Amino acid sequence: MRCVNWDICRHRQNSAQKKKCWVKWRMCGDCAAIYHQEEYPESYIKKKITMIKNIGKRNEELCRVLQ
């Protein structure tokens, strides 16, 4: 199963998980934390944003969304 933002993040999962991000929006955890911040605790969002910025080249498009 691919994330809805496949062109941007390139995340996929072999099977649908019972996680909020996959069930509600068909997004990976990174994209869900960016686009649906109201659904997650602030500490989780900060952790995901820091992780995305530190990964670098693979997530350049996601970093652009954050700015």
**Averaged pLDDT for residues 55-65:** 64
pTM confidence score: 0.69
**Averaged pLDDT for residues 51-55:** 75
Task: Quick: pLDDT tens for 16-40.
Answer: 667 888 888 888 888 888 889 899 9
Per-residue b or e along 14-24, where b marks 16 or more CB atoms closer than 10 Å to that residue's CB = eeeeeeebbee
